[in-house]
Structure 1
Amino acid sequence: MRLYISAITAVSRAVGVLAGIMLLSAVLSVSHMVFVRYALGWSTVWQTEYTAYAIVAATFLGAPWVLTVKGHVNVDILQMAAARRLRAAMQILSALLSLFFVALLAYAGWLHFEEAWSGGWTSDTVWAVPLWMPLLPMPVGTVLLALQYVAEIMRLLLDGGEPVAEHSVLFADTTDEARP
């Protein structure tokens, strides 16, 4: 179990780095667009569309990493008042419900991706991007998020929950050595 947790967490971190690179590329794309439009007076073709696709892709691909650092929104007022066992049960229930939602989102994302792929859909712009490309990060990111939720559930079962205070740390060390 610990091997699975470590492996999925490592994949989530690697894909999180990729998401960060995509956000950086979106910033560079916007900078290029501003320079080309206003300094050179040329028109732009691909920058706006690429930026939107890169930001959405980064959002989906970065979600598993955000889960590893406990960065997702969490209302924990009841958890703070609960005993450790009840807190662990609430965290597991929350993770299971989130896993169910993410699995449904992954399935819907896959259906949409497959429809765009088989239908040969392209964007209605001059750039005419095949739409399967910007749609692919949704099923990939949500499947990775689902796998990370499974790892989090396993970790909660092994460790018996965690103190609520750890949720507020954005860059918490999630290695097994850091666990009490």
Structure 2
Amino acid sequence: MSDPAPVDTPLPVRAMNAVSTVCGVIAALMILSSVLITCQMIFVRLILNRSTIWQTEAVIYLMIGATLIGLPYVQKLRGHVGVDLLPSLLPPGPRRVLALFVLVLTIAMAGAMVWYGFDTFHLAWSRNWKSETVWAFPLWIPYGAVPLGFALYFLQLSMDLWMTVSGRDNPLAASMAHEAELEERVG
């Protein structure tokens, strides 16, 4: 999906969109890495008939990291699962109020995840927690993906809220486009 940036898009919004795109690339590279590690693990187990030590754990941590670091990019693309039945039934004014309510609620949830995720990350860091495997991977690294991913998600949601409040964007535009298409067919 292309993301045209109108001239009146504020610099912080354009900057956050760029950061979100970088997060998407990082998440994609993490997924690619996990696929390559899985292939290497299969080769070591089946062809070389040897045991693996770190591969399964690395793939799990990479996929968790990709999911969390990819949050702002998916939000930028509006790719999160959404139910548009109610918005499509509402007129534009209440639809906008609903969009604002959902954005504020989601920002609050993301803020809570940052707060509690940072607490867990800090505990893992300060107490030097390690995984209970032979690899003994430092757990502050995967735990750090929670506050980082949700903080970036929080910022992307905040930019979306700013654009919605200022009237420059409408997060429920897809619902409105579908409604306009139906009106064209009928009318």
Structures share fold, TM-score greater than 0.5: yes
Instruction: Give the counterpart letter for 2:115 in structure 1.
Output: Y
Q: Looking at both structures, which has the greater relative contact order when contacts are Cα pairs under 8 Å and sequence separation is at least 6?
A: 1
Structure 2 counterpart of 1:124, from 132, 140, 145? 132
**Aligned position for 1:99:** 107
Alignment size in residue pairs: 168
**Aligned partners of 2:14, 2:176: CA distance in 1, in Å?**
19
| Larger Rg, first or second structure (1 or 2) | 2
**Aligned position for 2:173:** 163
With the length of structure 2 as denominator, give the TM-score of the two structures.
Answer: 0.86
Aligned-CA RMSD value: 1.6
Unaligned stretches of 5+ in structure 1? 169-180
SS of the aligned residue for 1:89 comes to helix
With the length of structure 1 as denominator, give the TM-score of the two structures.
Answer: 0.89
Shifted more, 149-158 versus 108-117: the winner is 149-158
Does structure 1 conserve the Cα–Cα contact (< 8 Å) formed by 2:87 and 2:175?
A: no
Instruction: Give the counterpart letter for 2:87 in structure 1.
Output: Q
**Aligned partners of 2:25, 2:169: CA distance in 1, in Å?**
29
**Aligned partners of 2:56, 2:177: CA distance in 1, in Å?**
35
The answer on 1:42 being equivalent to 2:50 is yes
**How many angstroms does 1:2 deviate by?**
1.4
**Aligned position for 2:5:** none
Q: Deviations over 1:6-65 (max 9, x none)?
A: 111110110110000000000001100000000011110110000000000000000110
Structure 1 counterpart of 2:86, from 72, 78, 83? 78
